[in-house]
Structure 1
Amino acid sequence: MAPFQQLDDKTLPGYVTRMIWSPKMDLLALAFESGEVVVHRHKWQKVWSRPKPEDGVRVTALSWKPDGLNLIIAYSDCHFELVHVESGESLYSINTDDSVLNFNWILDETRTSVRDVPNAEDCPPRLELFKKFKDPPPPDNLPLTMMICVFREMLLLSLHGILPCGVIRAPDLYCAAINQDASRIYAFDKGGHYVMLKTDLLKSKLDQLHTMAYFNREMEYLQDYLNAAISLLKESWDDVILEMDTKLLNFSQGQTLQDDLMELIVFGTLSEPLRDILLHKVTPKGLNKLSFSVEASYTYLAKIIFTNVLPACQRLFYQIHQIKGLALWTECHGCNLSIETLESISRAIRQLMLKVYEVQEVATWNIGNLKAFFRWLHATVVSLSDDANTDDTQVQLAGDLAKVSAYLTSARGNDLALDQVGQYFQDKPLDTPIKEFGIPELRRIGWSVHRKETSLIQEYENFKKVMKQLFQGLGSGFVRDVHPERITGPLAIGEDCVFSQLVSEADVHTCILPTVGSQYMVIFKNETFCVLKFGAFFSTPLASDGDQLKSIVSAQMYSQTVVTLVLRDGNTTILAQFPLDRVESPHWRNVSDLQDDWRNMALDAGAFIDKMNHRILENCCPGEQILAVSGPRKLCCVRVSGRRMRLLEMDVSDDEDDDEDDDQLHIEAEGESDDDA
């Protein structure tokens, strides 16, 4: 190994409690004592920050998703957030019954194809995106990603960090990691025991869970799309009614004119207030312009329904019945999908679709009446002019009198309430149900019941409510009988056990420091272990007593073959890399051999650290050190004291390129200054 190279020594504006490197990029996530979370590039260029939460709320865990696209932040107020790597925006916020202690992940890049999903030709067509919905549809194939959340009393398994797929009761754990094939979970508890949980059934059902994760992504995308479409519907209607009401209010100057209009229709008598408005406030040109504008707006509203809202409902209906078919399959019984829940969701979607059809019918009916109203009003204005042809005007008026009369009667006492569509966009029952203003009642369709009294928003809210129940309890049958087994221990540990875990394709490494400042470190590799201690590790002593045991301040898995250590020897602090491949097989023992005298089994590992893989850290305060390492990026960050952070590049070689622009994602830094954090 080559000497370590210091890149920077920086004082931050806050006290860092947790930090972790991205597995894919040179991004370092820092959690401050205040609860604020900041992501930096490795040269301290701030990318984004998450503001500090309420007073007293702190960050309890930080973790990057294995693909590096999301950061998981857990808070002490019992919720955690999935944050986008580029923007820092929260994509999901999940409330829990307790605060998360830590996270661990597996990524199976070989398991990308999804089983039991119908061919694309059999699905309804893809949705037509519109300008206010920019998110692309989710890809059909994604590698399997599973997250394990450690709580005080349980372990929560989650697909892609957002879809819970099983809960295991396992109290008092410090840490836990699931191996790559999901057959074993290895953990360490507060009693000092090394614990194993056998999850063979979960392993055999990963294909089914991966399929459910695919459907969950599809359903969430469709719900977001449908929500955007309905929001666009409401905005379109707001534009229509705002323009129409504004113009008509200008005409009437706030007066109630329904009685005057009805008297004109029935008896042909024109009141003085109405005559004044029609002669001096209303012009034929203005009425024609308003009529064309309103008609165009209603046409746009109908287009949104047919090109966006209904297709989204159809795809949701299709996907639900695909999931229902899988739920009836014997292989998926343990997924714990409720047929009753799927039926209620299907019913809610059908009722929503019927209400969308009803809104379309009402809009069509409403625009016909508005056009008749404007024609009649226009003809009336023209008839009052001196040069009007009275006979022609009367012929034009006669055809619209009945329709306008019925339309004004339906306005319920306010001649300005000419729109009947807006009531569908309120979260309350309809003011004027469909049967009351002349639209033929929609027939009861065999696969659903049409509820005439509800609004579109009520049906949509009901659909969202039942959708929340879709994947509740997913996968619980696969881990129902899983219980922790103490396979070794207890080790004598203090209150502040330090741990680090790394899951590779073959092994789960669990690095344990029984107490801060311990002289011993225990490393578990699956169901084997080794005990390490560090004496003087080169010929020239660093301190007055070269044989003095080093205390281990902090340790973290750098890679599956290297452990990064912060060692303390008197007033000297050393950063060192220890290669695990130097531990020969006799020193890797079966966990059943771990006895009370485990310290006597320690290998003096200092002999394997030489001048090429260590560095003395100057000006360090005892007990202040925490570290974050990135094996893929060969970077290390150490909190040396207080707010001071030291950044180092590990394994430097002379011919190494300085090019740092090979990230998979383009991340823009906000700036670089001493005040950034």
Structure 2
Amino acid sequence: MPAFRQVGEKQLPNPVLCMAWSPKRDLIALANTTGELLLHRLASFQRVWSLPPSEYTGKEITALAWRPDGKILAFSLGDTKQVVLCGVEKAEILHVFPMQNSVTCMHWMEVTEESSALSSFYNSEDESKLFLPKLPTLPKSYSTTSKIFSEEKSDEIMNLMGEVRLNVLVLGGDSGFVELYAYGMYKIATLSGVSGTCRSLSLSSDLKSLAVITEVRSADGDPQICYVQLDTRLLSDCLPEVTRMARKFTHISTLLQYLHLSLTCMCEAWEDILMQMDLRLTKFVQEKNTSTQVQDEFLELLLWGQSSPELQALLMNQLTVKGLKKLGQSIESSYSSIQKLVISHLQSGSEALLYHLSEVKGMSLWKQKFEPLGLDSAALEGAITAVGSFSLKANELLQVIDKSTKNFKAFFRWLYVAMLRMCEEHVPPELNKMTQKDIAFVADFLSEHFSENEELFDRKGKYFNVERVGQYLKDEDEDLVSPPNTKGNQWLKFLQESAHLKESPLLFPSFPQKSLHFVKRMMESVIEQCLQKPAEVIGKSVKQAVFLPLYTVPESSESTPRLFELPSLWNDKKAKMHHVVFCMPEISPGKLYVLRKGTDPNRHILNSVVSIDLRHHLDTAGEAAARPNYIYSCLDARFYDDEMLTVVLRGDYEREESGWRVLAQLPLASALSCETEFKWEPNLRLDQQSGAIPCLELVLGNQWRELENMKAQFVAVNGIRKVACVLSANLRHIRVFEMDVEDEDDEGAESQNASADQDGLDATMASEGQGEEPKEEGGERVGGGGDAFRKTEEQLESEEAL
């Protein structure tokens, strides 16, 4: 009986560029050449959902990473230089952020180190919930609403942060570009000094070092693969402080996004119909022959009930009684929607922002703890002031809306009656009563709003600005066309006359000439500087501890998908070691190399480089050797767990071209317990001193399986779920295997607990109607079978029945 059980096989319509198993569930994410992201389940390789490329994101996926809890997928886009966080359960885009460089690789890890300071911090983390009300959800009717804030029952920020324990998304790209994002959201470090293009990354779980595989152009022009270890000791030493700061700044950056989306909803609520009055009045001015002012003509109508033929034509032909009524209803509805958004969203978001920034400012005053991380109390004070100014401007907008609503109601009521009289129609008695106070109110409105402004015509193509709210929502740098009239404001008068209060830091500046958008942009830039400073300070503290050039790659292999290529990195949490597995096909094609480096650059741990000879005899455990004349070389290798390597081997019979393919498990216990430390010649690459590397021959036993009718090339594995996925050289043919089948009956309660998450997700997806998989061309399941597989089918049926 062959080792490993095949449970699924698929011919995919589009080549696969990235694949990654979920760390918690039997799910694998695939990205193909069309920019589509696919999620498949282990059982018969059934599709759960697909996320097509979007015009808002991009089409060229370059890297994939799962959040350690398996609830969120991160992927990078090469064409738009963005990173996207996607919810796994419903294929929703939760968050998108831009990058300066293209991302070529990513790694998402969770900190496992515990300390008493951290545990006390975890207990106090949710204090903000005691003081701040939950943010109101954004209206679903608006097109720009983000998924983060539209789910009524979800806690937006906590949904993105996941567990309280710190997790870090590491991104690498061209020109030595490396950035670290806490919770996948907030940038905590921008690293410099890494040479070449990043091919693979692994941040140690104790945060002491970051291992990077880079591709550097050597002096002779060939790409040179190098191993770099960066000392990230500051993150490790200040773990409780970094965690606290990162969570606070993630709250702040999410609140900024919330305010931005709230303002976008307000802009959508403000309709262009409100500008029609201005545009029609401008047209009236340009066409009329008389020299009288527009406000004079309206005042004449107000006082004497008479109008010029031009004004009558404007009112009866362009505006019409029906059009005036509709315009009045639109203005009232629009103003009401904006008013609600300001009160419930902008003000509550600003209060929450002030609360979190004040807490961060308090942290920054504890200089012994937080100054090394780059928290600047003066900059944070400036950020708090900027948020205060934004709140003031939002309050000013509320006053303008309130005044404009009253003005327009009175004006439209009077004009409606005047136009009914022109038409000689019946005027309802409730509208006919107009007091002297009402007439004075309309007269003031006409004299204030209906004066022509030549300067306004040059800027906007109109003479009038009757509607005062829209100017606050324009995303432009120009000053307000009609700033609020502050004449007679006792508070402003008191401030101007007080020498001490005029420049007081306790008072927020109000920027009376600026729009709400302008003040919001100013606030965002000030807060952004506060958010970026720690990333720069922490980034500068990271130093290169190790630089080891491994080998050169011939240019001919440039066509291979970079994401699948060796070397691959593995972070052994127990032994606190970085492992690198690689091949040197030009020097020794039949050997696999394993490099070990301690995660703590400041502590001497025995480092080693060993080679594993794969050239002959796959099976030496009592049975006849399989195809003894074949010479084996390694195509791909991934760490299955701390002591096992999953490899795809190619067996060539006297160097014939076709070869046969084998999936095998290599036990690394003897390689990892190698006691001899390799003496590295500092001025030479590893491939130039490969003769001195200790070589081991491993006995495979029955831990291998021939891959019939498949030109296998790459493999993705998950040792926790005991699964492997093999991909062919043409990137379209996939086979899925369960690796430890014989241990199935002995797994006991642990295995049942491990599958609980999966069952929960399956039930959710089935109830969402996502269990059915669209049929794909050439898709056919081969092999597999057995009781466990049938059980999975029965589970699926029962879930779909739900």
**TM-score band, normalised by shorter chain:** 0.7 to 0.9
| Equivalent position of 1:171 in the other structure | 195
Residues 234-243 or 453-462, more deviating: 234-243
Secondary structure (helix, strand or coil) at the match of 1:18 reads strand
- Structure with greater proportional helix content: 2
- Note closer, same or farther for the CA distance 1:291–1:162 as it changes in structure 2 (3 Å cut): closer
- Note closer, same or farther for the CA distance 1:375–1:555 as it changes in structure 2 (3 Å cut): closer
CA distance in 2, matches of 1:275, 1:101: 68
The residue type paired with residue 96 of structure 2 is Y
Asked if structure 2 preserves the Cα contact closer than 8 Å seen for 1:2 and 1:650, the reply is: no
2:167 pairs with 145, 152, 161, which one? 145
Shift of 1:418: 4.6
| Equivalent position of 1:674 in the other structure | 776
Shift of 1:238: 2.2
| Equivalent position of 2:106 in the other structure | 103
Residues 423-432 or 657-666, more deviating: 657-666
Shift of 1:394: 9.4
| Equivalent position of 1:205 in the other structure | 238
Shift of 1:474: 2.0
2:625 is equivalent to residue 541 of structure 1:
yes
- Note closer, same or farther for the CA distance 1:52–1:13 as it changes in structure 2 (3 Å cut): farther
Shift of 1:615: 0.5
CA distance in 1, matches of 2:535, 2:9: 47
Asked if structure 1 preserves the Cα contact closer than 8 Å seen for 2:226 and 2:551, the reply is: no
- Note closer, same or farther for the CA distance 1:257–1:532 as it changes in structure 2 (3 Å cut): same
CA distance in 1, matches of 2:596, 2:708: 33
Shift of 1:6: 1.6
Asked if structure 2 preserves the Cα contact closer than 8 Å seen for 1:244 and 1:294, the reply is: no
Residues 333-342 or 200-209, more deviating: 333-342
| Equivalent position of 1:363 in the other structure | 401
CA distance in 2, matches of 1:181, 1:490: 25
- Note closer, same or farther for the CA distance 1:70–1:277 as it changes in structure 2 (3 Å cut): closer
| Equivalent position of 2:127 in the other structure | 119
Residue identity over aligned pairs, in percent, reads: 24
CA distance in 1, matches of 2:517, 2:233: 45
CA distance in 2, matches of 1:543, 1:280: 94
1:532-588 deviations in Å (ceiling 9; x for gaps): 22231333122243xx65211211011122110112222332111122235573x35
1:602 pairs with 677, 682, 695, which one? 695
CA distance in 1, matches of 2:37, 2:573: 30
Shift of 1:417: 6.1
2:451 is equivalent to residue 412 of structure 1:
yes
2:513 is equivalent to residue 453 of structure 1:
yes
Shift of 1:107: 0.6
| Equivalent position of 2:365 in the other structure | 328
Shift of 1:18: 3.1
| Equivalent position of 1:220 in the other structure | 253
CA distance in 2, matches of 1:514, 1:650: 24
Asked if structure 1 preserves the Cα contact closer than 8 Å seen for 2:410 and 2:438, the reply is: yes
Shift of 1:14: 2.7
- Note closer, same or farther for the CA distance 1:598–1:412 as it changes in structure 2 (3 Å cut): farther
Residues 569-578 or 87-96, more deviating: 87-96
2:182 is equivalent to residue 159 of structure 1:
yes
Asked if structure 1 preserves the Cα contact closer than 8 Å seen for 2:109 and 2:167, the reply is: yes
2:422 is equivalent to residue 422 of structure 1:
no
After TM superposition, the score normalised by the length of structure 2 is: 0.71
CA distance in 1, matches of 2:316, 2:33: 72
- Note closer, same or farther for the CA distance 1:598–1:675 as it changes in structure 2 (3 Å cut): same
| Equivalent position of 2:570 in the other structure | 502
2:674 is equivalent to residue 619 of structure 1:
no
- Note closer, same or farther for the CA distance 1:301–1:574 as it changes in structure 2 (3 Å cut): closer
CA distance in 2, matches of 1:33, 1:89: 20
CA distance in 1, matches of 2:582, 2:571: 18
2:317 is equivalent to residue 314 of structure 1:
no
Secondary structure (helix, strand or coil) at the match of 1:448 reads coil
CA distance in 2, matches of 1:412, 1:33: 60
CA distance in 2, matches of 1:551, 1:472: 47
1:43-62 deviations in Å (ceiling 9; x for gaps): 142621443999x9855433
| Equivalent position of 1:513 in the other structure | 582
- Note closer, same or farther for the CA distance 1:416–1:464 as it changes in structure 2 (3 Å cut): same
CA distance in 2, matches of 1:336, 1:485: 23
Shift of 1:618: 1.2
| Equivalent position of 2:677 in the other structure | 590
1:400 pairs with 433, 438, 445, which one? 438
Q: Which runs of 5+ in 2 are unaligned?
A: 141-148, 216-223, 453-461, 496-501, 558-564, 599-606, 653-658, 780-802
Secondary structure (helix, strand or coil) at the match of 1:354 reads helix
Asked if structure 2 preserves the Cα contact closer than 8 Å seen for 1:335 and 1:476, the reply is: no
Asked if structure 2 preserves the Cα contact closer than 8 Å seen for 1:72 and 1:80, the reply is: no
Shift of 1:659: 9.7
2:136 pairs with 128, 141, 153, which one? 128
CA distance in 1, matches of 2:93, 2:237: 35
Asked if structure 1 preserves the Cα contact closer than 8 Å seen for 2:234 and 2:541, the reply is: no
1:361-387 deviations in Å (ceiling 9; x for gaps): 112222222233244446657888799
CA distance in 1, matches of 2:324, 2:80: 59
- Note closer, same or farther for the CA distance 1:232–1:553 as it changes in structure 2 (3 Å cut): closer
- Note closer, same or farther for the CA distance 1:490–1:283 as it changes in structure 2 (3 Å cut): closer
Secondary structure (helix, strand or coil) at the match of 1:169 reads coil
- Note closer, same or farther for the CA distance 1:299–1:556 as it changes in structure 2 (3 Å cut): closer
CA distance in 1, matches of 2:27, 2:124: 38
The residue type paired with residue 564 of structure 1 is T
Asked if structure 2 preserves the Cα contact closer than 8 Å seen for 1:146 and 1:158, the reply is: yes
Shift of 1:628: 1.0
Root-mean-square deviation (CA, aligned residues, Å) is 4.4
Secondary structure (helix, strand or coil) at the match of 2:411 reads helix
- Note closer, same or farther for the CA distance 1:281–1:351 as it changes in structure 2 (3 Å cut): closer
CA distance in 2, matches of 1:219, 1:186: 30
Secondary structure (helix, strand or coil) at the match of 2:595 reads strand
| Equivalent position of 2:498 in the other structure | none
1:84-117 deviations in Å (ceiling 9; x for gaps): 03325372233233x4342233212666855886
Counting matched residue pairs gives: 662
Shift of 1:180: 1.2
- Note closer, same or farther for the CA distance 1:247–1:9 as it changes in structure 2 (3 Å cut): same
1:140-194 deviations in Å (ceiling 9; x for gaps): 8622111333344254332223322221422246544222111133445556665
CA distance in 2, matches of 1:357, 1:52: 37
| Equivalent position of 1:559 in the other structure | 641
The residue type paired with residue 68 of structure 2 is P
Q: Which runs of 5+ in 1 are unaligned?
A: none
Shift of 1:279: 10
Shift of 1:129: 3.1
Asked if structure 2 preserves the Cα contact closer than 8 Å seen for 1:317 and 1:349, the reply is: yes
Secondary structure (helix, strand or coil) at the match of 2:444 reads helix
| Equivalent position of 2:499 in the other structure | none
1:68 pairs with 64, 67, 70, which one? 70
CA distance in 2, matches of 1:471, 1:581: 45
After TM superposition, the score normalised by the length of structure 1 is: 0.83
CA distance in 1, matches of 2:276, 2:410: 18
2:718 is equivalent to residue 630 of structure 1:
yes
| Equivalent position of 2:524 in the other structure | 464
- Note closer, same or farther for the CA distance 1:672–1:7 as it changes in structure 2 (3 Å cut): farther
The residue type paired with residue 134 of structure 1 is S
Shift of 1:27: 2.8
CA distance in 1, matches of 2:394, 2:242: 33
